[in-house]
């Protein structure tokens, strides 16, 4: 990779944390965010945690100004932050819909909008959106979450077509069942039933996702754009 600044939203745990650490260990300057205070607990000067509410546009613009002052405007943006608020549709409250859409979709818009102008100016950029196979196949109780993630696929394709001529690629990564806090609540029987439907016979690991993100950010992936790539052990096949 020829550029050095990485920005990862939702980096306090799980997939986002692994992505941020992976880039930092390879020598890139990494800024990772979370809505609350957090620390990576690693002695790496090039890995910076910051508190940021990506749904608050004033906060996002303040973050842009701070990054610009530190010469840390991202060459590579990883939109990973996301929340769930599962509920059967007939019982879903308005705020359960609004909060998920605002974070997962509008938050991605907010960050991409504020950073893309600098990428266009530099004629280089990588935007990688972390979606979910839930957005590709649907899940009961996740109309809000699946909708937000499905929308990111359209976001990715449309933006890729707009900025491709400026040497900016836009891709999505759609994890399946990955060992994170979001899957730790699964009971043994449920877990085994899920694994039975996965051709590779296991739940994924966070580094399965982070390694793909690293590849999509690299020069080797410079001719890949507008794609949604599943990391699900073969659970969903077209």
Catalytic residue set: 145
Question: Which strands sit side by side in the sheet containing 76-79, from one edge to the other?
Answer: 47-51, 29-34, 5-8, 76-79, 125-130, 168-175, 228-231
Q: What are phi and psi of 78, to 5 degrees?
A: -110, 110
C-alpha closest to that of 164 among 224, 118, 110: 224
Dig out the tokens for 35 from the structure: 């809505």
Tokens of 37: 């205070």
Categorise residue 134: left if φ over 0, alpha if ψ from -120 to 50, beta otherwise. alpha
Give the integer Cα–Cα distance in Å for 137 and 117. 33
Distances 192 to 24, 130, 133, 177, 195 between C-alpha atoms, Å: 35, 25, 19, 12, 5
Element (H, E) at 215: helix 206-217
Burial 77-112 (b: 16+ CB within 10 A, else e): bbbbbbbbbebeeeebeeebbebbbbbbbbbbbbbb
3-state SS class at 181:
coil
């Amino acid at each position: 990779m020829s550029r050095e600044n990485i920005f990862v939203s939702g980096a306090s745990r799980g997939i986002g944390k692994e992505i941020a650490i992976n880039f930092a260990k390879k020598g890139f300057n990494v800024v990772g965010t979370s809505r609350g205070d957090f620390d990576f607990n690693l002695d790496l000067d090039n890995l910076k945690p910051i508190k940021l509410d990506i749904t608050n546009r004033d906060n996002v613009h303040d973050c842009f100004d701070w990054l610009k002052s530190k010469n840390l405007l991202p060459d590579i943006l990883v939109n990973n932050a996301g929340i769930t608020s599962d509920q059967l549709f007939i019982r879903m409250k308005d705020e359960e819909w609004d909060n998920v859409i605002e974070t997962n979709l509008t938050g991605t818009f907010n960050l991409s909008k504020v950073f893309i102008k600098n990428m266009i100016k530099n004629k280089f950029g990588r935007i990688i959106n972390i979606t979910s196979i839930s957005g590709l196949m649907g899940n009961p109780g996740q109309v809000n979450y699946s909708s937000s993630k499905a929308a990111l696929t359209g976001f990715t394709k449309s933006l890729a077509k707009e900025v491709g001529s400026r040497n900016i690629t836009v891709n999505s990564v759609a994890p399946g069942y990955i060992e994170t806090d979001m899957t730790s609540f699964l009971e043994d029987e449920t877990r085994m039933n899920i694994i039975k439907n996965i051709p590779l016979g296991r739940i994924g690991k966070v580094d399965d996702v982070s390694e793909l993100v690293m590849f999509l950010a690299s020069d080797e992936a410079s001719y890949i754009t507008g794609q949604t790539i599943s990391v699900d052990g073969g659970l969903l096949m077209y």
